[in-house]
Amino acid sequence: MSLRIVFDLDGTLIDSAPDLCAIANTLLAARALEPISLVQAREFIGNGASVFVEKLRKSRDIPDTDHDALLCSYLTLYAALDLTLTAPYPGLVEALSTLQAQGYAMGICTNKPLKAAHAVLDHFELGDFFDAVIGGDSLSVHKPDPTPLHAAFEALGAGPRLYVGDSEVDAETAARAHVPFLLFTEGYRKSPMSDLNFQGNFSHFKALPELISSIRTRAAWH
Ligand SMILES: O=C(O)COP(=O)(O)O
Ligand SMILES: [Mg+2]
């Protein structure tokens, strides 16, 4: 039974905030509204597309009644994204290659729309690392509900579980699923690290394989 590792996507494997910020500002420009900053975009990411649009609306006093139309335009632009402003975090491919060579089963549980998640994985040639991908619209509920995380682990077979993410949403999801959690500290977290529960943390992917090995030894996982 090999260890199963599930990763969050936005703010954990890839820095996608500049592209999502650009989409938001295209929508705002069409309404002759002021653009949001990259800092704001990072704050809006983490709970999926609908919450992103809700936070965007509230920041610019766009009425609730416009939500569905704005979400629809957002998703259309999202689906057409060429990902020029998105980048995998440094050291990611090397870390995933090491973990794959160590025989771990790996998957993704993201609140990003599933098609967009697959588009990112294809674009950056990361798809072969992952045997399961659950998106924000794969099920009727999304993180912090633990159901999508359970689904990702189930698709990876049997074995101990570990979840890796960047945000409060991920920490809550892991806690509700009773899964050990590793925090990537350079993503889109809003609160201090001391407010979150995690079993380990890392700020660069070169540290991840070693961190997982040490946690494995501590937990006596085989
Ligand atoms: O789409 C989002 O809001 C965030 O996606 P994530 O779950 O990969 O961080
Ligand atoms: Mg994230």
| Residuewise pLDDT in 10s, the chain (222 residues) | 789 999 999 999 999 999 999 999 999 999 999 999 999 999 999 999 999 999 999 999 999 999 999 999 999 999 999 999 999 999 999 999 999 999 999 999 999 999 999 999 999 999 999 999 999 999 999 999 999 999 999 999 999 999 999 999 999 999 999 999 999 999 999 999 999 999 999 999 999 999 999 988 887 665
Q: What is the CA radius of gyration of the chain?
A: 17
With a 6 Å cutoff on the Cβ, whether 110 touches ligand 1 is yes
The one-letter amino acid code at 4 reads R
- Ligand 1 centre to CA of 56 (Å) is 15
Q: CA-to-CA distance for 78 and 99, rounded, in angstroms?
A: 30
Q: What is the pLDDT of residue 177?
A: 98
**Domain match, 99 and 195 both:** yes
**Domain match, 70 and 112 both:** no
**Domain match, 97 and 122 both:** yes
Q: What is the pLDDT of residue 217?
A: 82
**Domain match, 191 and 160 both:** yes
Neighbours of 40 (CB within 10 A): 15
With a 6 Å cutoff on the Cβ, whether 142 touches ligand 1 is no
Please count the structural domains in the chain.
2
Structural domain for 38, as ranges: 17-79
- Ligand 2 centre to CA of 135 (Å) is 12
**Domain match, 11 and 23 both:** no
Contact 56, 77 (CB under 8 A): no
Q: What is the pLDDT of residue 208?
A: 98
Alpha helices in the chain, H assignment, sequence order: 17-30, 38-44, 49-59, 67-79, 92-101, 114-123, 147-155, 168-177, 208-219
With a 6 Å cutoff on the Cβ, whether 47 touches ligand 1 is yes
**Domain match, 45 and 121 both:** no
- Whichever domain contains 152, its CATH number is 3.40.50.1000
Contact 114, 136 (CB under 8 A): yes
With a 6 Å cutoff on the Cβ, whether 24 touches ligand 1 is no
Which atom of ligand 1 lies nearest, measured to the CA of 166?
A: 9
**Domain match, 169 and 98 both:** yes
Q: CA-to-CA distance for 34 and 40, rounded, in angstroms?
A: 13
**Domain match, 123 and 42 both:** no
Q: What is the pLDDT of residue 222?
A: 52
Token pair in block for residue 44: 């809006």
Q: What is the pLDDT of residue 216?
A: 83
Helix (H, G, I), strand (E, B) or coil at 163: strand
With a 6 Å cutoff on the Cβ, whether 48 touches ligand 1 is yes
Choose, from 8, 19, 166, 170, the residue flagged as catalytic.
Answer: 8
Instruction: Output the residue whose Cα is nearest ligand 1's atom 4.
Output: 46
**Domain match, 21 and 71 both:** yes
- Ligand 1 centre to CA of 222 (Å) is 31
**Domain match, 212 and 138 both:** yes
- 145 flagged as catalytic: no
Total residues found in the chain within this entry: 222
- Ligand 1 centre to CA of 143 (Å) is 9
**Domain match, 62 and 93 both:** no
Instruction: Please tell me the number of Cα atoms within 13 Å of 96 on its side-chain side.
Output: 24
The one-letter amino acid code at 100 reads Q
Q: CA-to-CA distance for 52 and 157, rounded, in angstroms?
A: 32
